[in-house]
Structure 1
Amino acid sequence: MAACVACKQPLVLELEPDEDEDIEMGGGSSSGKAPATVETVPDDVQLSCGCHFHWDCLLEAYQITQCPNCGKDLATTSSNGTQQLLCNLHNEGGFQENLDILPLLGEETYLKAYPEERKCRAFLEFCREGDVKAVIGLLQDDEEEDEEDEDDMQEGEQLGRKIGPDELLRYQDPIGDMQSGLHAAVQAGSREVAWLLLLLASDLDLLQFPPEVFQEAEALGIMRGITEGKTDIRSLRDADGKSAEDLAKDIGGVWVGWPGTGRLSI
């Protein structure tokens, strides 16, 4: 079996044992029973040059479009004229042949340079999934982290840049067509997240909101703060110059009746 050229270890990933299973099996106890068996799944990225890497090892060593091991240029041109980097990927999800991983590598390279934006991208993903509680949890976590940073900061000590709740709400993805959370929610048809974002990051007249929105917001412990001087999320436009309302017009469906009301555009 081939090994990772970076770490020389087998091309598998060990899964963390389930704690409940470990307890049932007697792991860590004096019962004499064996702990849960460590499970493994494939973790093999085979580049077109023939070199094999673990996914994380490739990310650590990634050098634009050259193989970090043999130095071969791996870039090819797709049928539509864009650059691509093809590989055979075998992981927990199965085997994928001739998969273009250049977008993923580009994203990871960007996040290495700007690690604080991982939370921003998680925020956008929660907006796409329509997970209101996760969106709120992320915003509340940011507030708690800001307070902890102020408490822990020593004289002369500089912490990495923190993205606060206001900036998180208005974040636009620089490697994802400059979409905001409102764009992501509209594209995914998530009206509940859209109402939440409008409540927290817009100047939309509160009379426009259904009573149910306020009831749920109160139950989740959130409230609109001061919006004066802050960017209204409805004014944000993606890389194509489209507002969230423009997307809603294109999509239709759950957004029928929203365009023209001021809910998604100012």
Structure 2
Amino acid sequence: MSENKRLKTNNPTPDSGESPLLNESILLLIFKSIKWDIHVLCLTASLNQKLRAIAERLLWRKLCTNRAPRMVNALSNGAPNSRINGGWNALGKLLFFCCGCESTRHFQLSQRLSGHFVKSSRFSKTSGRSFLPKKCRGDLLYVSDPCEHPLGDRDDDVGIFRGVFREFMKSKTRACLIRRQVEFAESVRCPYCGARVWSMTTAQLIPKSAARRLGTYDGGLEYFVCLYGHLHGTCWLVPLSSDEDRCDDEEGGNSGDDCDEGLADDDDNRTV
């Protein structure tokens, strides 16, 4: 059924007594006028069951395609009206919400860090390649820049990052996890869709390039991937030395053993 036909079937009649806010055409105009504010969408979806259903079927998808068009186009193979693994609401949350973190088996913290909405995020498939082992480089993964969280008891900041695979069910990464018979992490769930997750540390599938990309030391990070391909993780953001600063300044798109590859403009997608 086309979108125009679907919108017509939801138009309230004058005698129905139904709120105009249940009219999908009106809702789309309202959210377009406020530039698809995620706070307003979350509030709208929490008002009643009908609005929640409209948000899950239509509004979350529209938010994602309007706020991160290039990334969504890549994840959906150019068909933004199609379904997406884990649901559009989970992707919308992932785009705009830092999930926070707490201590895990391989990453110990002195305190729990709460999640929060972010004003803007940059997701990059170039960064995503740094998180893929060589045998899985054919996968497409978007990863955000780490959100910095200072801890009062040490000099290093905690970096919290997130990401998403395209078609994770068909990915080489999932096939590798299944082939290695990696068990799901205990007491950890995906903060975006609630699904069970694999620890990539336990699976020994974290390449050294991930630590270089994040600016941390080898072993100073952990991340998880859920059944639907949502990624979330933490790392220590160590202070840069003068040599590392110079390495960063000299990055211009060339990759090497000492400096990770630069980010190409068409690889990045910023959500604001």
- TM-score calculated relative to the size of structure 2: 0.26
The structure whose residues are more often strand, as a share, is 2
Q: Which structure's CA Rg is the greater one? A: 1
